[in-house]
A and B are shown apart, each in its own frame.
Chain A
Amino acid sequence: DAGVIQSPRHEVTEMGQEVTLRCKPISGHNSLFWYRQTMMRGLELLIYFNNNVPIDDSGMPEDRFSAKMPNASFSTLKIQPSEPRDSAVYFCASSPGQGLYEQYFGPGTRLTVT
């Protein structure tokens, strides 16, 4: 299996621009998670989906962030407009289910907003 695939691996953009991060979960996994990692705040869960339905988006920092999962094999995290404080590594993870199952992480997207 190819594992969780994320693109792009690196993104540099200017403040105010729209940023779209992409994730392809492991085939057969029905839960998908978006995380953000920074030195200051550590690992934060932004949102997670189960069977393509958003279950908990309480970690989404503000309305500038949105996430979609149109089908079982694709999800996007969008930031519009981006700000320098959004600079972080964004991880996507998938798991066979909720709760007791381990999560499999992608390699991450390193976002820099100047």
Chain B
Amino acid sequence: AQSVAQPEDQVNVAEGNPLTVKCTYSVSGNPYLFWYVQYPNRGLQFLLKYITGDNLVKGSYGFEAEFNKSQTSFHLKKPSALVSDSALYFCALNAGNNRKLIWGLGTSLGVNP
């Protein structure tokens, strides 16, 4: 069965430090992976996706994610966190064949000034 796990409910980092938000997945075929961000009282916004090719994917607002097939992970990263990055982050998986997205439960990121 396909699934997505975000093992941390909350991550806190200091402004200027690197941040990582973790995501692992389980799928029988090729994974297509997405990261979204949700700011308070807003809808989700697309950050980046991995379909194929380079394992390091760059996205919006300076975020990037590394696809690791052997570890079945797709962690979201940013070299230097901003207070404005504080939000809820969702990882999502599509197992292909036009299926719907399978969503993680979200990780709340807090960046302290």
CA A107 – CA B42 in complex, angstroms? 5
Q: Could you tell me if B44 and A100 are in contact, using CB atoms closer than 8 angstroms?
A: no
In this complex, the interface size class of chain A, counting residues with CB under 8 Å from chain B, is 20 to 34
Residues 31 to 48 of chain B near chain A (Cβ within 8 Å): 32, 34, 36, 42-46
Decide: B99 and A99 in contact? CB cutoff 8 A: yes
Report B64-113 residues with CB < 8 Å from chain A CB: 90, 94, 96-101, 103, 105-106
* Mask of A83-110 contacts with B, CB within 8 angstroms, 1/0: 0000000010100001110111111100
Which residues from B are CB-within-8-Å of A98? 98-100
The interface size bin for chain B is 20 to 34
Please state if A42 and B103 are interface contacts (CB–CB under 8 Å): yes
Main secondary structure of the interface of A (DSSP, over half): strand
Mark A17-51 against chain B: 1 for CB-CB distance below 8 A, else 0: 00000000000000001000000001101001010
Is A56's beta carbon under 8 Å from chain B?
A: yes
B22 at the interface (CB under 8 A from A): no
Residues of B within 8 A of A99 (CB): 32, 94, 96-99
Supposing A42-B105, A42-B106, A45-B101 touch, asked if A100 and B43 sit within 8 A by C-beta, the answer is no
Q: Which residue of A lies closest to B102 (CB)?
A: A45
The answer to whether B34 touches A102, judged by C-beta atoms less than 8 angstroms apart, is yes
Q: Is the CB of B106 within 8 A of A100?
A: no
The listed residue with most A CB atoms (<10 A of its CB), out of B42, B43, B46, is B43
Write the nearest CB–CB distance from B29 to chain A, whole angstroms.
Answer: 12
B5 to chain A, nearest CB (A): 12
A48 to B36, CA, bound (A): 19
